[in-house]
Amino acid sequence: MTTALREPSSPLARAALERAAAEVAAWRSDAEAAQELEQIARAVARRTGGSASAALAPQLSALATAARIDTDVPTESRIRAAKGIKAGVKALVGFYVNHVAQQVRVLGEATVNLGRVTSKELGRLEGEVTVLREEVAELTRTVAELRGDAS
Amino acid sequence: MSAVHQIIPVLAPHDAVGGHTRRVRDALRSRGHHSEIFAEVIVGPVPDGAHLLQDFDAHGAGADLLVYQSSTGSTAADWVLSRDLPFAVNYHNVTPASFFERWHPDAAANMRRARNQMRAMSLRSVAGLADSAYNAAELTEAGYRNVQVTPLLLDVSDAPPAPDPDTIARLGARRRGQRWLFVGRLAPNKCQHDLVAALAAYRRRFDPDAELVLVGSAAVNEYQDAVLALADDLGVDGAVTVVSGLSDEELSAYYESADVFVCVSEHEGFCIPLIEAMRHDLPVVAFAAAAVPDTVGEAGLLLGQKDPATVAAAVHELGTDEALRAELTAAGAARVRDFDLARTAPVFVDAVEGALRELQTGA
């Protein structure tokens, strides 16, 4: 994603980036601040992806497209005789191809529906897990404070 | 002199590739070439020397070379491939479909189509003209020959439009803390959600009154909704503003009243707003992704990571180091001069003439 990041030739810019890196390190070493950064990261993941339900969406879309099966046997050909042969084959086995394709299509549609329901439920569970994690973190903080008070 | 016509999917008045195409036509004509533009779709009034692609045979017969402006999937690309005419491809990059799969499957399908067309054109293209080293690398990887980095032709010779006084006054009255600006469609590849996250971190650590202004319309409504919902989740909804449909003067006012231009986009073929920010003496902090380092050069603070803390700390440095700010502003002004048409137009036309010579010598 990043592309050939060269070190800036400007001493001022280099120094600023070094100071920023040191600031970030200090920031992360502060437990409370680090927890805030973690909360931000979780919120971003919840809204914009990074979740299993989000990752499933394009696969379901592709599966839905693949499940639409064209059951009309193609008979076009640039060669007149071949076209006739294809039409004959279609007349003989078209009904069977149709029969099989219909079943595959039904299976595909059922699979897509199952995937959508699973994805929706997964999304709901991911949301609940995030809320529960935040509650656990809050409780952990409260317990630590109470222990501090008690001692 | 030769006839060099350009083919573009959509020619629109305020579109970056459309503006480049019109300037290429002017530059080719000023060298004495016959040059017309043919577009699959023309939005708004038809500019001089522009025609619908369906009228090519009436206005474009006898073309020595076509230049296809490649940035999206189009019927125009198929048309170029179907004609027995030599062509070059001017590549502005295509957003990878993966960014849009989740949000807009149809847009993702168009992006896949665009990349397939770009690859298909490599087999017959006489030259690949790319407006950044990043784009040139993609053309080379796709199998193009005669790949060159040629500048995007921008109109930066004059001073930017005067800022709208009402907008300046309104933004001035609203100012509480540092104002971050980003200009670009709200799209998953531009990652406005990461800007919101960085702003939230910045407000907690450095400036509780800082705000973020996002100028741009929604490329995907669902993505814009998610960005705004994230702002709400993080408690910065009152500090994030989304505006669109601005006049040039109003946009100038937003550039003028901002403290820093922050870009954390993960994919850009060029990113003209970076140059516009420099044109308004607005310092730039940017994540070094795709063509962004090519566009920024040394005229911005480029970041190798874009987690909220890193972006916030870099913006803080820029806000507190006056000498750095002055240096970057000066470097930005110099970078803008690199795109002066008097410099860039001859480079582009030289590349086209090189392709013509290649054709004539049968190399």
Q: What is the number of structural domains in chain B?
A: 2
Query: Residue B353 domain-assigned?
Result: yes
| DSSP bridge partners of B51 | B38
Query: Residue A95 domain-assigned?
Result: yes
pLDDT digits (tens, 9 = 90+) for A107-126: 887 787 787 778 777 767 77
Closest CA to B236 of B216, B213, B217, B215: B213
Q: Same structural domain for residues B131 and B201?
A: no
Q: Please, are residues B71 and B115 in contact by the beta-carbon 8 Å criterion?
A: no
Q: Same structural domain for residues A94 and A142?
A: yes
Other beta carbons within 10 angstroms of residue B14's beta carbon come to 9
Alpha helix positions (H), B216-340: 221-233, 248-257, 272-279, 292-296, 308-320, 322-337
Query: Residue A1 domain-assigned?
Result: no
Supply the pLDDT for residue A5: 66
Q: How far apart are CA B230 and CA B171, in angstroms?
A: 24
Query: Residue A88 domain-assigned?
Result: yes
Please indicate whether, in this complex, the C-beta atoms of A16 and B321 are within 8 angstroms of each other. Answer: yes
3-state secondary structure of A28: helix
Q: How far apart are CA B134 and CA B268, in angstroms?
A: 10
Query: Residue A87 domain-assigned?
Result: yes
Sequence-distant (6+) residues with CB within 8 A of B14 are none
- Mutant choice from B99, B267, B324, B335 vs A, greatest count of A C-beta within 10 A: B324
Q: Same structural domain for residues B346 and B217?
A: no
Please indicate whether, in this complex, the C-beta atoms of B308 and A41 are within 8 angstroms of each other. Answer: yes
Q: Same structural domain for residues B350 and B245?
A: no
- The number of C-beta contacts closer than 8 angstroms across A and B is 114
Distance from CA of B294 to the nearest CA of A (A): 9
Q: Same structural domain for residues A106 and A71?
A: yes
Q: Same structural domain for residues B219 and B288?
A: yes
The residue type of B89 is V
* Set of chain A residues whose Cβ sits within 8 Å of the Cβ of B313: 19-21, 23-24, 27
Q: Same structural domain for residues B251 and B352?
A: no
CATH of the domain at B173: 3.40.50.2000
Q: Same structural domain for residues A68 and A119?
A: yes
Q: Same structural domain for residues A42 and A29?
A: yes
Distance from CA of A53 to the nearest CA of B (A): 10
Torsion sign, CA atoms B308, B286, B89, B80: positive
Q: How far apart are CA B26 and CA B36, in angstroms?
A: 9
Q: Same structural domain for residues A82 and A141?
A: yes
Query: Residue B160 domain-assigned?
Result: no
Supply the pLDDT for residue B261: 98
Q: Same structural domain for residues B185 and B318?
A: yes
**Who among B288, B309, B327 is closest to A12 (CB)?**
B327
Q: How much is the mean pLDDT over chain A?
A: 79
Q: How far apart are CA B176 and CA B298, in angstroms?
A: 30
Q: What is the number of structural domains in chain A?
A: 2
Q: Same structural domain for residues A21 and A81?
A: no
What is the separation, in whole angstroms, between the first and last Cα of chain B? 19
Query: Residue A123 domain-assigned?
Result: yes
Q: Same structural domain for residues B32 and B144?
A: yes
Supply the pLDDT for residue B158: 79
Rounded to two decimals, the ipTM of the complex is 0.88
What's the angle, vertex CA B228, arms to CA B223 and CA B232, rounded to 5? 140
Distance from CA of A11 to the nearest CA of B (A): 9
Query: Residue B80 domain-assigned?
Result: yes
pLDDT digits (tens, 9 = 90+) for B98-137: 899 888 989 999 999 999 999 999 999 999 999 999 999 9
Q: Residue A129: which domain range?
A: 52-150
Query: Residue A64 domain-assigned?
Result: yes
Q: Same structural domain for residues B146 and B31?
A: yes
Distance from CA of A19 to the nearest CA of B (A): 8
Query: Residue B144 domain-assigned?
Result: yes
pLDDT(B291) > 80 = yes
Supply the pLDDT for residue A74: 67
pLDDT digits (tens, 9 = 90+) for A130-150: 677 777 877 888 888 888 877
Q: Same structural domain for residues A71 and A18?
A: no
Q: Same structural domain for residues A25 and A86?
A: no
Please indicate whether, in this complex, the C-beta atoms of A16 and B287 are within 8 angstroms of each other. Answer: no
Query: Residue B159 domain-assigned?
Result: no
Q: Same structural domain for residues B19 and B74?
A: yes
Supply the pLDDT for residue A2: 46
Query: Residue A3 domain-assigned?
Result: no
The DSSP code for B236 is -
**Who among B288, B303, B307 is closest to A3 (CB)?**
B288
pLDDT(B175) > 70 = yes
pLDDT digits (tens, 9 = 90+) for A24-45: 999 999 999 999 999 999 999 8
Distance from CA of B266 to the nearest CA of A (A): 7
Closest CA to B72 of B22, B7, B19: B7
For B223, phi and psi rounded to 5 degrees?
A: -70, -45
Q: Residue B210: which domain range?
A: 165-337
Q: Same structural domain for residues A56 and A122?
A: yes
Q: Same structural domain for residues B195 and B324?
A: yes
Sequence-distant (6+) residues with CB within 8 A of A26 are none
Q: Same structural domain for residues A36 and A95?
A: no
Residue B52 pLDDT level (bands cut at 50, 70, 90): very high
Supply the pLDDT for residue B152: 97
Q: Same structural domain for residues B191 and B296?
A: yes
Q: How far apart are CA B261 and CA B253, in angstroms?
A: 13
Q: How far apart are CA A111 and CA A100, in angstroms?
A: 17
User: What is the DSSP code string of B328-341?
Assistant: HHHHHHHHHHTT-H
Q: Same structural domain for residues A105 and A124?
A: yes
Supply the pLDDT for residue A83: 78
Q: Same structural domain for residues B8 and B120?
A: yes
Q: Same structural domain for residues A79 and A112?
A: yes
* Set of chain B residues whose Cβ sits within 8 Å of the Cβ of A41: 197, 307-308
Answer whether A116 touches B (CB < 8 Å).
no
Query: Residue B130 domain-assigned?
Result: yes
Query: Residue A2 domain-assigned?
Result: no
